[in-house]
């Protein structure tokens, strides 16, 4: 077994040895497994409507009741995370990759370029995220081809600050100074000396970004700019059910619980991962 594989086995054992990590990882894995298997295990067609079963209460036939169109809430809740998980699972690594590399570059280079670009980053972060993303989505559409790069771009901007701060912690180390003395260029120093030493912080940040992206994606669907009907989506289900919460709360509570449990699971797992890797999240820059 290689040294790297042995280290990650130790990290995995440490993560699952913590109650928060075990609970969080189990919740995340359960949601991912359900998203993959749901088309084959759900009891009904997610598009099937019935005028005779509108807003039926939970029963033996429909364990979580039906919605305003007579569709099975259990079926739609089980399948409601598929789009969100796929989109954000693609966008999160992209955000960490471009934001991390740029942040490392700025942390290593310093100087006027660093000052100017960090002021641009601060300007972006000062604006409400929903307004920035809505501007892009209204202009170019709400398909996956737009949502993925939009989420990756806007959620990669805060990663720049995390990567830059982590780089400042290692840039004065002996191995970086030795690499500079040997005449290595910045790309080589970044890839060989700095990136391996800030990768843990970027992984933890990526886990946190994933939970925020899920919430952002569901918020966009809630506002009508994410998934289009009749595709099941938690945010869209909550938006459709909000007018009937007084008489049929099950139609809205089911997707709320599903979304909340996934976000809580990711945050618990991310916190346990940070402790397993020795990353101090409290020392990260405010963003």
* Domain CATH number, residue 262: 1.10.3720.10
Token pair 């709400």: residue: 142
The answer to whether residue 211 is domain-embedded is yes
Q: Which pLDDT value is given to residue 284?
A: 52
Q: Look up the domain containing 20 and give its range.
A: 15-39+65-283
**pTM > 0.75: yes or no:** yes
Q: Give the long-range contacts of residues 171-177, CB within 8 A, separation 24 or more.
A: 171/107, 171/108, 173/197
**Number of domains present in the structure of the chain:** 1
Q: Which pLDDT value is given to residue 108?
A: 85
Q: Which pLDDT value is given to residue 227?
A: 80
Contact 96, 154 (CB under 8 A): no
Q: Which pLDDT value is given to residue 286?
A: 44
Q: Which pLDDT value is given to residue 34?
A: 94
Q: Which pLDDT value is given to residue 205?
A: 92
Q: Which pLDDT value is given to residue 268?
A: 95
pLDDT tens digits for range 5-20: 677 788 888 888 889 9
Weakly modelled stretches of the chain, pLDDT under 50: 1, 286-287
Contact 204, 274 (CB under 8 A): yes
Query: Would you give the DSSP letter of residue 71?
Result: -
Output b/e per residue, 167-198; b: 16+ Cβ within 10 A.
beebbeeeebeebeeeebeeeebbeebbbebb
């Amino acid at each position: 077994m290689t040294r790297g594989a042995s280290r990650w086995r130790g990290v995995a054992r440490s993560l699952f040895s913590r109650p928060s990590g075990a609970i969080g990882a189990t919740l995340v894995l359960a949601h991912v497994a359900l998203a993959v298997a749901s088309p084959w295990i759900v009891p009904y067609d997610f598009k099937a409507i019935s005028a005779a079963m509108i807003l039926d209460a939970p029963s033996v036939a429909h364990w979580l009741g039906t919605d305003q169109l007579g569709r099975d809430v259990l079926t739609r809740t089980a399948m409601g995370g598929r789009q969100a998980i796929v989109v954000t699972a693609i966008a999160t690594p992209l955000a960490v990759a471009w934001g991390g590399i740029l942040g490392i570059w700025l942390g290593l280079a310093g100087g006027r370029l660093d000052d100017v670009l960090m002021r641009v980053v601060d300007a972006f972060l000062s604006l409400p995220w929903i307004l920035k993303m809505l501007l892009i989505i209204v202009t170019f559409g709400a398909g996956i081809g737009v949502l993925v790069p939009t989420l990756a771009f806007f959620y990669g901007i805060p990663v720049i600050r995390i990567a830059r701060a982590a780089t400042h912690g290692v840039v004065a180390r002996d191995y970086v100074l030795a690499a500079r003395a040997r005449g290595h260029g910045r790309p080589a120093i970044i890839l060989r000396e700095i990136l391996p030493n800030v990768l843990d912080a970027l992984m933890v940040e990526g886990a946190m970004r994933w939970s925020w992206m899920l919430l952002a994606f569901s918020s966009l669907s809630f506002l009508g700019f994410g998934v289009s009907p009749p595709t099941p989506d938690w945010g869209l289900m909550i938006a459709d059910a909000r007018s009937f919460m007084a008489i049929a709360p099950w139609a809205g509570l089911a997707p709320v619980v599903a979304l909340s449990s996934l976000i809580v699971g990711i945050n618990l797992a991310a916190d346990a991962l940070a402790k397993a890797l020795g990353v101090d999240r409290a020392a990260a820059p405010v963003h």
